[in-house]
């Protein structure tokens, strides 16, 4: 694939949004392009709750990656609000990249997303990304590239990548950059996201809590950072207090585990990720609360930041 390189002194910048069914590798791709973990990854549908912006810096371009929640047919008020968030994002970006894994056949869900994107953002450049190419052989990759090309039409380019292995990630950066308007950088060099630290912390705690749990929990879990303060006896350490909200007592029991063992594991996993991002040691206090049916209650949704 030949990619048009910018001319001497020409700089391009703009916004790109990855779309696709749950678990198609959107967040993993965001992290691979940024070069650091800023979006949570999970095999659970609707893991992403906020439009986290990752910032990709290159000599010739700056790409701002908007990692939206997956577009879906909503069943709750939370689901409706997440969809509204997605719609707003689609109309504001320069490029929309549809992610479809190499190891899964194109299905009704993919066609529905393309239809929604075309309705909501008819003038936005659409690009195909075949993800997880490390999971299949070359003939299968070629077959999927053709299928995605037929789905999107001849005007849309399709790029195969493996975010996990770092294959063709730079090619994708160049292809997206070539579609951006000329213009200055939006963010200073070295800045990787414009998300508040509290939001990133809350998302990393959610990711750790969702690891290996049953299907019922993902939609019902919200995390709020209550307080961040320097630890009195250790000035180079932060005290972070977080509340994990669930909808039912049975879910609280799942999160806490036998004699608190599971919550301790969640704390250990989340603490390592948060320390890596903040570059400082933290002491993480986790508490689990039941907020009955919060996904359907406008007042509780506001309180939890939705």
69 assigned to a ligand binding site = yes
Query: In terms of C-beta density within 10 A (0-12 exposed, 13-18 middle, 19 or more buried), how is residue 237 classed?
Result: middle
The reply to whether 26 sits in an annotated binding site is: yes
Whether residue 293 is annotated as binding a ligand: the answer is: no
For helices 77-90 and 108-120, angle between their N-to-C axes, nearest 10 degrees: 60
Q: Select from 153, 162, 106, 112 the least CA-distant residue to 133.
A: 162
Percentages helix, strand, coil for the chain (3-state, rounded to 5) are: 40, 25, 35
| 268 marked as binding residue | no
What is the C-alpha to C-alpha distance for residues 288 and 24, in angstroms, rounded to an integer? 30
* Distance of alpha carbon 88 from alpha carbon 69, whole angstroms: 12
- Is 133 assigned to a binding site? yes
- Cα 274 from Cα 297, distance rounded (Å): 30
Q: Is 9 annotated as a binding residue?
A: no
CA 165 distance to own-chain centroid:
18
Q: In terms of Cα–Cα distance, which of 129, 119, 106, 117 is closest to 179?
A: 129
Check the annotation: does 179 bind a ligand: no
Residue with tokens 């972070």: 240
Work out the number of other CB atoms within 10 angstroms of the CB of residue 73. 8
| 68 among annotated binding-site residues | yes
Tokens of 284: 């993480």
**Pairwise CA distance, residues 60 & 56, whole Å:** 11
134 is in an annotated binding site: yes
Residue 20 labeled ligand binder: yes
- Sign of the C-alpha dihedral computed for residues 78, 80, 83 and 87 taken in this order: negative
Q: Is 131 annotated as a binding residue?
A: yes
CA–CA separation, 57 and 138 (whole Å): 31
User: Tokens 């008020």 identify what position?
Assistant: 77
Per the annotation, where are the binding residues?
A: 20-27, 67-71, 131-134
Per the annotation, where are the binding residues for GTP?
A: 20-27, 67-71, 131-134
């Amino acid at each position: 694939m030949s990619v048009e390189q910018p001319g001497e002194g020409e700089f391009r910048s703009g916004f790109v949004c990855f779309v696709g069914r749950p678990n198609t590798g959107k967040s993993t791709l965001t992290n691979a392009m940024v070069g650091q973990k800023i979006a949570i990854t999970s095999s659970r549908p609707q893991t992403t709750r906020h439009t986290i912006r990752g910032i990709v810096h290159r000599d010739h371009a700056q790409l701002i990656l908007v990692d939206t929640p997956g577009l879906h047919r909503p069943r709750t008020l939370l689901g409706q609000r997440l969809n509204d968030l997605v719609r707003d994002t689609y109309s504001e970006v320069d490029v929309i990249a549809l992610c479809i894994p190499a190891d899964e056949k194109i299905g009704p869900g993919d066609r529905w997303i393309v239809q929604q994107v075309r309705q909501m953002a008819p003038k936005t450049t659409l690009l195909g990304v075949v993800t997880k190419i490390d999971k299949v052989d070359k003939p299968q990759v070629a077959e999927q590239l053709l299928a995605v090309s037929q789905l999107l039409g001849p005007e849309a380019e399709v790029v195969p990548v493996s975010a996990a292995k770092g294959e063709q990630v730079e090619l994708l950066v160049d292809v997206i950059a070539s579609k951006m308007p000329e213009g200055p950088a939006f963010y200073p060099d070295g800045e990787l996201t414009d998300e508040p630290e509290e939001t990133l912390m809350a998302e990393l705690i959610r990711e750790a809590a969702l690891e290996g749990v049953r299907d019922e929990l993902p939609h019902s879990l919200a995390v709020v950072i209550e307080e961040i303060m320097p630890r009195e006896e250790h000035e180079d350490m932060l005290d972070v207090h977080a509340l994990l909200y669930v909808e039912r007592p049975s879910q609280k029991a799942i999160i806490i585990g036998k004699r608190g063992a599971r919550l301790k594991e969640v704390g250990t996993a989340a603490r390592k990720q948060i320390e890596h991002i903040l570059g400082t040691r933290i002491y993480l206090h986790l508490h689990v609360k039941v907020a009955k049916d919060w996904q359907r209650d406008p007042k509780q949704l506001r309180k939890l930041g939705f």
